[in-house]
Every structure is written in structure tokens, then in C-alpha cells.
Amino acid sequence: MNDIIIMVLCTVAALVILIAAIGIVRMPDFYLRLSVTIKAATLGTGLLLMAAAVFFGDISVNTKAIAIVFFLLLTTPVAGHMISRAAHFIGVKQWKGSVLDELKGKYDKTTHGLESGDNPRRNGPGSENAQEQTF
């Protein structure tokens, strides 16, 4: 029974990584390629580690595999987000078919500040344009 579980986990992991490799070649820009890579790294590696945990069956191996999967689930999306954000700030162009660029015009290259929504310096607390909010 364990052999079947290991075989299924390894096969699904290999298919996820294969589909991601095809996606990397087919995606038109850096941001979409990065998105495909992050998903494949997280899911494919996690499935392979779970297969290793089932194969060895030892509590120490299982604990390490679960810890690594947990670490990957926490760090890989954050790393991908930071890489794509840095690429956006240095001017890596988006695909011409992209319909939304939420960061356009919100990054100040002199102060390295990123503003969200309205300009907080003009509408923030204590400014003359501030509106009272009730929650």
C-alpha cells in the first residue's frame, strides 16, 4: 500500500513540475514565468517530500519533511512576491496583454516609498484634508 502512495505522490509531483516547465517556456513575460515557477516549486517539492516521508516511515524523517514543507509554504510565495516587486521597481516590462498594473505610479524612486491608495501625505491623519472616519 505504501508503494502505491509513494508512486502516486512522485508521479503527481513530476507532472506538476513538468507542467511548470512547459509553462515557463510558454508564458510571455517574467511575472507570469515567476508565478508558474513559485507554484511548481512549492507543490512539486512538497509532494516529493511527502513521498519521502511515506517511504522512510521514521518519525524523524517525517518531522523533517513536514518542517521543510511548512517552511516552503511560508517562504516561497514571499520570495516570489519580493522578486516580482523588485523586478517591477527596476522596470522589467509587463506583457502587452496585461490589463492591470496596480503599482504603476505609486513608487517614489527618490525616497523608495510605496504608497497605497490615496497619497497619505495629503490625506493622512493631521492633514487639513483628513476626513473623520468612524468604525
pLDDT digits (tens, 9 = 90+) for 18-42: 999 998 999 898 888 998 989 888 9
Rounded Cα distance, 123 and 79, in Å? 32
Rounded Cα distance, 86 and 103, in Å? 11
Residue 36 in contact with residue 23, Cβ under 8 Å? yes
Query: Residue 118: what pLDDT?
Result: 60
Name the 3-class secondary structure at 107: strand
Q: What would the mean pLDDT of 36-62 be, rounded to a whole number? A: 92
pTM (predicted TM-score): 0.70
Burial category of 1 from C-beta neighbours within 10 Å (exposed 0-12, middle 13-18, buried 19 and up): exposed
Q: What would the mean pLDDT of 56-70 be, rounded to a whole number? A: 94
pLDDT surpasses 90 at 15:
yes
What is the number of residues in the chain?
135
